[in-house]
């Protein structure tokens, strides 16, 4: 599997960043009454629209990475993307069959604007346990309790 070159290339831009989770539910129309909905998968992919701003040398590196490492868009790759949990590594691949990405040179900035659509295998999110805690307590409560716990542990070890 390929890995996006975080050490050589910038992360996607935050503006125009769009996540579109696909449904793992199918809908069956009934002869009368409401349609029936069934969950067929808990691992439905999410589609994400990405945009980058590259210098000429970064764009040349990106082009080579897409061709050689991402196999011109056919290969899954690891990339750090923004999610609800912050910057997290995702497993992604390009989705457009017409073209892997679109690139436009901005004459004013002399930078390449590149956009691509990818699908990710799994959108990282809170675990069920963390979600249940979040429903009962605010984030401030959780952070405060962690601070109390850290202070208690430090006090304990300082007395040893």
149 or 33, which is more confident: 33
For residue 86, pLDDT over 70 is answered with: yes
Angstrom distance (rounded) from CA 88 to CA 81 = 6
Q: Where are the domains of the chain?
A: 2-125, 127-160
Assign residue 90 a region (left: φ > 0; alpha: ψ between -120 and 50; beta: otherwise). beta
State the Cα–Cα distance between residues 63 and 70, nearest whole angstrom: 10
Dihedrals φ, ψ of 106, to 5°?
-85, 115
The per-residue pLDDT for range 111-146, each reduced to its tens digit, is 999 999 999 988 788 788 878 877 887 767 766 776
CA 89 – CA 95 distance, rounded (Å): 18
The pTM is what? Answer: 0.74
Answer whether residue 38 shows pLDDT above 90.
no
Residue 118: which of 30, 28, 12 has the closest Cα?
12
Is the pLDDT at 148 greater than 70, yes or no? Answer: no
56-67 mean pLDDT: 97
pLDDT of residue 113: 97
SS3 62: helix
């Amino acid at each position: 599997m390929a890995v996006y070159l975080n050490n050589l290339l910038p992360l996607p831009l935050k503006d125009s960043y769009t996540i579109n989770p696909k449904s793992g539910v199918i809908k069956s129309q009934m002869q009368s009454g409401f349609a029936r909905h069934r969950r067929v998968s808990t691992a439905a992919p999410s589609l994400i629209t990405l945009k980058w701003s590259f210098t000429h040398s970064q764009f040349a590196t990106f082009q080579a990475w897409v061709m050689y490492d991402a196999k011109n868009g056919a290969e899954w790759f690891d990339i750090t993307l923004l999610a609800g949990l912050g910057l997290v590594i995702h497993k992604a691949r390009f989705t457009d069959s017409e073209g892997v990405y679109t690139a436009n040179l901005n004459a004013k900035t002399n930078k390449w604007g590149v956009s691509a659509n990818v699908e990710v295998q799994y959108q990282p999110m809170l675990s069920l346990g963390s979600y249940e805690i979040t429903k009962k307590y605010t984030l401030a409560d959780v952070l405060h309790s962690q601070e109390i716990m850290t202070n208690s542990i430090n006090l304990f070890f300082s007395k040893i």
